[in-house]
C-alpha cells in the first residue's frame, strides 16, 4: 500500500510523539515535549498563514495571550468552566483577528505585519496595566482544568508532566491533521494560488481578500489554543505569554523548519524549544547562536531546514 504525503506526515508525527518517551531519562523531558507540542501547534497555524497564504504576522502571541487569560479570568469572574473558557478564548481571538484583518488584508504588501505588531503590543499592554482584572505583571493563577482527574476517572493515572505531554501531543496531531486537510481543500488551493501570484489568482476568480482573512483567522485560533494549553498546564500565567518576542519566536520557528511544510515547522519548533535547554551553560550566547542559525538557513536553505534536508536525501533518485 502506498501512502499519500498527508498520511505519511501524520504517521511520522504520531510515531514521534508516541515513541520518543522511550528515550526520556527523566520525566522532565515530558515537560519539554509538551512545550514543543504547544509551540508546534501555534507554528502549524503560522504555516497556514505564512506558508499557505504568504502573509506575515508579528503579533500572534497576542492571540496566545487572549487564549491563556480567557482560561485564567473567565472561570474566576463569570464562573465559566475552564475548558469552555478555552473555547470562548479561541472564538474571541477569531473575532479579533477578523476585525483586525478585514480592513488590512484588502491591501497588498506588508501592512498585516505592521498591524499585527501593534495588535500584539496592545494585548500585552492591557494584560500588564489592567491589574485589577489580569493581576498585572505579577501574573495570575489559572484554575485546575480537571482534565487530569477526568483521565484518572477512566483509569489513566499519569504524572502531571506526562499527562500534558500526551494531551498536547494529541491536540497537536489533530491540529496538524486539520492543517494538512486544509492544504488540499479548495481553500488551501486558493491560498497557495494567491501566495504564488495575487494577480493571477484574482484573474481565475479567487477572492483574494476573503481567503487571506480566512487564513489569518484560522492561524489566530491555533495561537489562541496554544496559549490556553500553556495556561492550563502551568496553572499560572503572566503577560510574558503575549510578549513581542514570542511572536518573533514563532515566526522564526516556522521559517527555520520550513514554512511550507507542517512537519518542517513543527521540527523548527522542536529545535528552538530544545535549544535553550541544551544551551543552559551558554545562556548568554543563546540569542547569538539563534541569529546565526537563522542567517545560515535563510542564505543556504530558503525552504527551511527539513524540506532542504529531505531534498538532499532524495536528491539522487530525482
276: contact with another protein by CB under 8 A: yes
Question: Which listed residue (234, 293, 301, 303) binds another protein by CB under 8 A?
Answer: 234
Say how far apart CA 110 and CA 28 lie, in whole Å: 41
In the complex with another protein, which residue's Cβ is closer, 214 or 233?
A: 233
291: contact with another protein by CB under 8 A: no
Taking the complex as a whole, the smallest distance from the CB of residue 10 to another protein amounts, in Å, to: 16
Place of cell 481565475: 204
**Which residues are within 8 A (CB) of 166 and not within 5 positions of it... i.e. 6 or more apart?**
158
25: contact with another protein by CB under 8 A: yes
Cβ neighbours, 10 Å, residue 67? 34
DSSP class of residue 299 equals: H
Taking the complex as a whole, the smallest distance from the CB of residue 303 to another protein amounts, in Å, to: 16
Of 221, 217, 297, give the one whose Cα is nearest residue 264.
297
In the complex with another protein, which residue's Cβ is closer, 40 or 188?
A: 40
Question: Which listed residue (3, 150, 174, 278) binds another protein by CB under 8 A?
Answer: 278
- 3-class secondary structure, 154: coil
Of 156-175, which residues contact another protein (CB under 8 A)? 160-161
Cα dist from 55 to 36, 114, 142, whole Å: 24, 11, 33
Which of these ranges, 14-22, 55-63, 189-197, 209-217, lies near another protein under the rule CB under 8 A?
14-22
Taking the complex as a whole, the smallest distance from the CB of residue 2 to another protein amounts, in Å, to: 21
Site string for another protein, 112-151 (x = CB under 8 A): ----------------xx-x----xxxx-x----------
Taking the complex as a whole, the smallest distance from the CB of residue 306 to another protein amounts, in Å, to: 8
Cell numbers placing 297: 538557513
Place of cell 504555516: 47
Say how far apart CA 168 and CA 33 lie, in whole Å: 9
Cα dist from 318 to 4, 7, 237, 308, 313, whole Å: 18, 22, 49, 14, 10
205: contact with another protein by CB under 8 A: no
Angle ∠(30,237,289) on CA atoms, nearest 5: 60
Of 156, 138, 165, 99, give the one whose Cα is nearest residue 240.
138
Which of these ranges, 41-49, 96-104, 186-194, 227-235, lies near another protein under the rule CB under 8 A?
227-235
24: contact with another protein by CB under 8 A: yes
Footprint of another protein (CB under 8 A): 16, 19-20, 23-29, 31-32, 35, 128-129, 131, 136-139, 141, 160-161, 230, 234-238, 240-241, 243, 267, 270-271, 274, 276-278, 280-281, 283-284, 309
Amino acid at each position: 500500500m502506498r501512502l499519500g504525503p498527508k498520511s505519511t506526515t501524520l504517521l511520522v508525527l504520531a510515531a514521534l510523539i508516541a515513541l520518543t518517551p522511550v528515550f526520556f531519562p527523566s520525566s522532565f523531558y515530558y515537560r519539554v515535549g509538551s512545550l514543543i507540542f504547544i509551540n508546534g501547534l501555534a507554528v502549524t497555524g503560522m504555516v497556514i498563514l505564512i506558508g499557505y497564504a504568504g502573509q506575515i504576522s508579528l503579533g500572534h502571541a497576542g492571540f496566545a495571550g487572549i487564549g491563556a487569560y480567557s482560561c485564567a479570568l473567565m472561570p474566576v469572574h463569570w464562573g465559566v468552566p475552564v475548558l469552555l473558557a478555552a473555547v470562548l478564548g479561541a472564538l474571541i481571538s477569531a473575532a479579533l483577528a477578523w476585525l483586525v484583518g478585514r480592513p488590512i488584508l484588502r491591501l497588498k504588501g506588508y501592512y498585516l505585519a505592521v498591524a499585527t505588531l501593534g495588535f500584539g503590543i496592545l494585548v500585552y499592554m492591557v494584560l500588564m496595566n489592567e491589574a485589577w482584572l489580569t493581576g498585572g505583571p505579577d501574573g495570575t493563577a489559572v484554575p485546575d482544568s480537571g482534565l487530569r482527574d477526568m483521565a484518572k476517572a477512566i483509569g489513566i493515572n499519569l504524572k502531571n508532566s506526562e499527562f500534558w505531554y500526551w494531551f498536547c501531543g494529541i491536540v497537536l496531531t489533530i491540529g496538524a491533521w486539520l492543517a494538512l486537510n486544509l492544504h488540499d481543500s479548495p481553500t488551501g488551493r486558493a491560498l497557495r494560488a494567491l501566495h504564488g501570484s495575487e494577480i493571477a489568482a484574482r484573474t481565475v476568480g479567487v477572492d483574494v481578500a476573503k481567503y487571506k482573512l480566512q487564513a489569518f483567522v484560522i492561524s489566530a485560533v491555533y495561537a489562541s489554543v496554544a496559549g490556553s494549553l500553556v495556561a492550563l498546564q502551568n496553572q499560572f500565567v503572566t503577560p510574558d505569554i503575549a510578549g513581542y518576542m514570542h511572536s518573533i519566536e514563532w515566526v522564526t520557528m516556522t521559517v527555520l523548519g520550513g514554512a511550507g511544510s507542517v512537519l518542517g515547522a513543527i521540527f523548527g519548533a522542536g529545535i528552538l524549544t530544545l535549544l535553550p535547554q541544551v544551551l543552559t551553560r551558554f545562556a548568554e550566547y543563546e540569542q547569538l547562536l539563534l541569529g546565526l542559525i537563522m542567517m545560515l538557513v535563510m542564505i543556504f536553505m530558503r525552504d527551511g531546514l527539513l524540506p532542504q534536508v529531505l531534498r538532499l536525501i532524495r536528491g539522487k533518485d530525482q
